[in-house]
Amino acid sequence: MHAVQARVEPQNPGVGTLEMQREVSCRALGVVLDAAESRGIPLETLLGTVPVTEKRLRDQNEWISWDAFVRILDNLYEETGRNEDELVQIGYENFGTGSFDFMRQVASFIVRPRDLYWMGTTWFGPTLFTIVNDRFRDLEDGRLEETLSVPEGFPGCRPLFKIMEGAMRAAPSLLRRPDAVVHLELDPEGRTGVYTVRPPGRASVRALFRSFWRGVSGGKRFIDELTQQQNQLKVSRNRLYWANQKIERQAWRLRTVDRMGRELARHIELIPLTQAIFEALRPLLPDRGIALHVHGLHDDRSRELGRTGSTPGTPARTLPMETGGALVGRLELWPNADGSVNGNAVLVKELLPWIAIALDNARAHEAARAYGTLLEARVKETVSQRDEANGHLESERLEREYLLEKVRRSEEQLRLVEAVASLNNHCVDIANQLVAPIEFIRAAAGEALRNPDELSDTAKVVETLEKIDRRAQSAADIAIGLSQFTHNEQVQKQRIDVNETAQLAAADVRGYAKQRGALVDLVLAKEPCLAHANRAQLEQVIVSLIRNGIDSAPVRGRVRVSTENVPGGVRITVTDNGPGIPPADLERIFELFYSTRRRKGQSGVGLCAARSIVTGNGGSLRAESDETGASFIVEMPVEPPPEPSPADPMGTGRSA
């Protein structure tokens, strides 16, 4: 039985490649080439992408790999339309020719077909296919069983088993005997085939004599052929032996270099690394002096890291070490004391790249450490400068807080002064509003005293008394409203005529307007304008807006007061011909103590109080302005807002 282990790829692709491909003898391809040629299959189609020439395939001393052989047979299988019977016929027709020609010579010494099959299994097959496992055994009734199998790691080859089936059927023809009966059991992967062979019966005495005579006549040629095959096997064995020795030596060097390289890679400090390098080189260079230099550590000059052994005079050899084309250092070697230069120079040369990489890493580590020290010093300096700057900033912050505190206190004092001034001005406004009805009352009383005769006219007396009563009530309402506004008390609201209220307000400021040379125009709606509000407070708001317009207008200013009905309420518009209000101040003018005319002695309280009174009566007050002047628009509701119910305590108008 012939057995071969699974394929083992070479560790170094450049060594032993040819020997590792001695898997199929080119003698086995003679049948394939002859079959392709007889069927008109071009050689290029048969080979496909297999990188081999026809000359090599025709040379019976050449070998190819099993993979290439399988691809060639697969191409033949495809060109025959994947017809397995055609493959069996190829083996049957070409047996005894090409690669099987030597079997014909061997058959001249054989009488029984059984011996012919045994010879093919034990000797002929292994000389063609070095990887195929063969097993031969005798069965009952003169039958034979031959098993061929492809080991793991190699692809299966179904076409080969079918061609061998045809060859086994035709094998007895070499003995001038009828065909054998062959039955093949082949696994689906084409890796194992079991042949059951029933050879033909016994030959006659005459046939045996002819076989003996052919053996005698062809004996010398058979012996020569065996000798040639034996020599070829011996040459192949020697080539394999030396290739294996070369691979083992190279593998040992690679393992040694890898082990030393890993050891060197463990060190990143220059001093420990130098010691490790010397320890790695001493066994390879016994009794020789060694010096190690590194280049570009802190500058462009070389620096010696250390020496070992005897290093007198000039070194015998200098080996530069580079990484990425850049010089890292050099290794200097001295001869032995007797002048010899023994040592494993090849292994040292292979170890140099590892030493260069380790030196480059250590050099980078040293540079990084130096840079880290420099960076740490700079960081300390920066932190010191930062702390000093933070001290200055803290001093400035404390000084700024002290100044801000002074400014805040000054602003509080200013606000107190302004508040007192605003209260004074507000009192002046209220006093001015009270002056008008009081003067009217005094004027009416004085006229009655100057004309006592008219007192007999009852109608005129009643009319005068009614005017006095209205003016007195107006003064009382102003005083009561001021008290309620100050104490945040609920004011009495009722449905009033806004037109009448606007007329009373215009009459109240007539004297103030006359003093400043201003005119007040009333543009009242023709239909009644009714609103739900406190009459005295609404009159006070209109008076405040008219006075504000008079103060805003230039000399001989003009203020217009208009009324109109709008959906759900009444609108009162007070417009002046002053310089207007900047857009950014249209809302700020209603803030407490804010005024665009503070330089004129205005306190900024009137508009804030006016909006508060309007909103307290359920209305709204807003300002508009353009290049012609400013307008203040008051809108008051006709009906009072709904009272909050128990189910709607917030007055939202929704019930549970």
Do residues 173 and 96 lie in contact, with contact meaning Cβ atoms separated by under 8 Å? yes
Higher pLDDT, 192 or 342: 192
In this model, does residue 436 exceed pLDDT 70? Answer: no
pLDDT at 341: 61
Distance CA 609, CA 477 (A): 17
* C-alpha of 604 from chain center: 60
In this model, does residue 619 exceed pLDDT 60? Answer: yes
Q: How confident is the model at residue 656 (pLDDT cuts 50, 70, 90)?
A: very low
CATH superfamily of 493-637: Histidine kinase-like ATPase, C-terminal domain (3.30.565.10)
Highest mean pLDDT among 355-359, 378-382, 491-495: 378-382
Q: For 416-443, what is the mean pLDDT?
A: 65
Q: What is the DSSP letter of 143?
A: -
Distance CA 355, CA 213 (A): 74
pLDDT at 565: 94
Mean of pLDDT over the chain:
79
Sign of the CA dihedral running 207, 208, 211, 216: negative
Among candidate residues 603, 562, 568, 254, the one with its CA nearest the CA of residue 417: 603
- In the chain, pLDDT over 90 holds for what percent of residues? 21
220-263, pLDDT tens digit by residue? Answer: 555 666 677 667 777 777 787 788 888 887 788 778 778 877 87
Task: Please name the CATH architecture into which domain 265-363 falls.
Answer: 2-Layer Sandwich (3.30)
pLDDT at 652: 42
H or E stretch covering 343 = none
What is the third-level CATH fold of 17-217?
H-NOX domain (3.90.1520)
pLDDT at 429: 61
Higher pLDDT, 31 or 137: 137
Q: For 615-623, what is the mean pLDDT?
A: 92
Please tell me the least confidently modeled range out of 86-90, 357-361, 464-468.
464-468
Where are the domains positioned within the chain? 17-217, 265-363, 493-637
Do residues 270 and 362 lie in contact, with contact meaning Cβ atoms separated by under 8 Å? yes
Higher pLDDT, 2 or 561: 561
Distance CA 139, CA 198 (A): 10
pLDDT at 105: 57
Write out the two tokens for 309. 């052994």
Q: For 512-540, what is the mean pLDDT?
A: 90
pLDDT at 336: 75
Q: For 516-541, what is the mean pLDDT?
A: 91
Higher pLDDT, 129 or 99: 129
Which amino acid appears at position 371 of this protein? Answer: Y
In this model, does residue 448 exceed pLDDT 80? Answer: no
519-523 and 558-566 strand pairing: parallel
pLDDT at 598: 39
H or E stretch covering 605 = none
pLDDT at 4: 42
Do residues 95 and 173 lie in contact, with contact meaning Cβ atoms separated by under 8 Å? yes
CA distances from 379 to 375, 394, 404 (A): 6, 22, 35
294-343, pLDDT tens digit by residue? Answer: 887 776 778 888 888 878 888 888 888 888 888 888 888 888 766 666 66
463-475, pLDDT tens digit by residue? Answer: 777 667 666 766 6
Residue holding tokens 């046939």?
207
In this model, does residue 372 exceed pLDDT 80? Answer: yes
